[in-house]
């Protein structure tokens, strides 16, 4: 089977996957491994992604169009044909129709927004100085999941 795990940034997706992987040994496909990376952005230590939205002056790494969806679907299709268990996890796991068709089970982690905010600001401390970027993340996630 192919299990899809989705939820907001810092909702516990990776933690759940690590626990399941330790117990069941699945093939794990993390959407974070499939950004549309193109080149280093001058003057910054992170990679510029082709097709990124720019919101409030920041590249939106949490945008649906920042992922290589065709490649993700191919990788999941191949894994589903060869592995007894596949787990796909990411922010937009349930937003791509072709990917959703491949899933046998879906798990959506619904976590209180205050908990998510606390976790994200603890993990990504630079957000404290750039709170408008967090607004982009929240709006992008909510917008994609209310229409999916």
CA atoms 114, 61, 97, 79: torsion sign: negative
Of 41, 60, 44, which is closest to residue 52 (Cα–Cα)? 60
Q: Report CA-CA distances (Å) from 99 to 88, 94, 115.
A: 9, 7, 28
Position 102 scores a pLDDT of 97
Is the pTM for the entire model greater than 0.75?
A: no
Position 84 scores a pLDDT of 96
CA distance 88 to 104: 11
CA atoms 37, 98, 134, 53: torsion sign: positive
How high is the mean pLDDT of the chain?
Answer: 76
């Amino acid at each position: 089977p192919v299990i899809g795990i989705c939820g907001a940034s810092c909702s516990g997706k990776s933690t759940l996957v690590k626990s399941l992987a330790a117990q069941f040994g699945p093939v794990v496909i993390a959407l974070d491994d499939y950004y549309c990376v193109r080149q280093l952005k001058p003057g910054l230590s992170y990679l510029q992604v082709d097709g990124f939205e720019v919101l409030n002056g920041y590249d939106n790494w949490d945008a649906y169009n920042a992922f290589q969806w065709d490649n993700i679907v191919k990788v999941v299709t191949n894994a589903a044909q060869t592995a007894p268990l596949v787990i796909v996890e990411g922010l937009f796991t349930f937003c791509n129709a072709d990917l959703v068709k491949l899933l046998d089970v879906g798990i959506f982690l619904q976590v209180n927004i205050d908990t998510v905010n606390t976790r994200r600001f603890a993990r990504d401390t630079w957000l404290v100085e750039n709170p408008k970027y967090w607004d982009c993340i929240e709006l992008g996630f909510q917008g994609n999941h209310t229409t999916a």
